[in-house]
Chain A
Amino acid sequence: AQTVTQSQPEMSVQEAETVTLSCTYDTSENNYYLFWYKQPPSRQMILVIRQEAYKQQNATENRFSVNFQKAAKSFSLKISDSQLGDTAMYFCAFISHQAGTALIFGKGTTLSVSS
Chain B
Amino acid sequence: KAGVTQTPRYLIKTRGQQVTLSCSPISGHRSVSWYQQTPGQGLQFLFEYFSETQRNKGNFPGRFSGRQFSNSRSEMNVSTLELGDSALYLCASSILSTSYTDTQYFGPGTRLTVL
- Chain A residues with CB under 8 Å of chain B are 32-33, 35, 37, 42-47, 50, 52, 91, 95-97, 99-108
User: Contact between A35 and B103 (Cβ–Cβ < 8 Å)?
Assistant: yes
CB-based nearest A residue for B98: A101
Contact indicator per residue, chain B 34-59, by CB within 8 Å of chain A (1) or not (0):
01000000110100100000011010
Residue contact B108 to A95, C-beta cutoff 8 Å: no
| Partner among A37, A43, A95, A108 whose Cβ is within 8 Å of the Cβ of B100 | A95
- The answer to whether A47 and B43 have CB atoms under 8 Å apart is no
Q: Does B72 contact A (CB under 8 A)?
A: no
A-B contact count (CB 8 A): 60
Q: Which residues from chain B sit less than 8 Å from chain A, CB to CB?
A: 31, 33, 35, 42-43, 45, 48, 55-56, 58, 88, 90, 92, 94, 97, 100-109, 111
Question: Which residue of the partner chain A has the closest CB to B88?
Answer: A43
Once the chains bind, are A47 and B100 in contact (CB under 8 Å)? no
Among B33, B101, B106, B111, the residue within 8 A (CB) of A102 is B33
Q: List 15 A-B contacts (CB under 8 A).
A: A33-B101, A35-B103, A43-B88, A43-B108, A44-B109, A45-B109, A96-B100, A101-B102, A102-B33, A102-B48, A102-B56, A103-B33, A103-B45, A103-B92, A105-B43
Q: Do residues A43 and B43 form an inter-chain contact, with CB atoms below 8 A?
A: no
The answer to whether A44 and B106 touch across the interface, beta carbons within 8 angstroms, is yes
Do the beta carbons of B33 and A101 come within 8 Å of each other? Answer: yes
* Given A101-B31, A101-B56, A102-B33, A47:B103 Cβ within 8 A: yes
B48 touches A50 (CB 8 A): no
> With the chains together, A52 CA to B63 CA distance in Å?
36
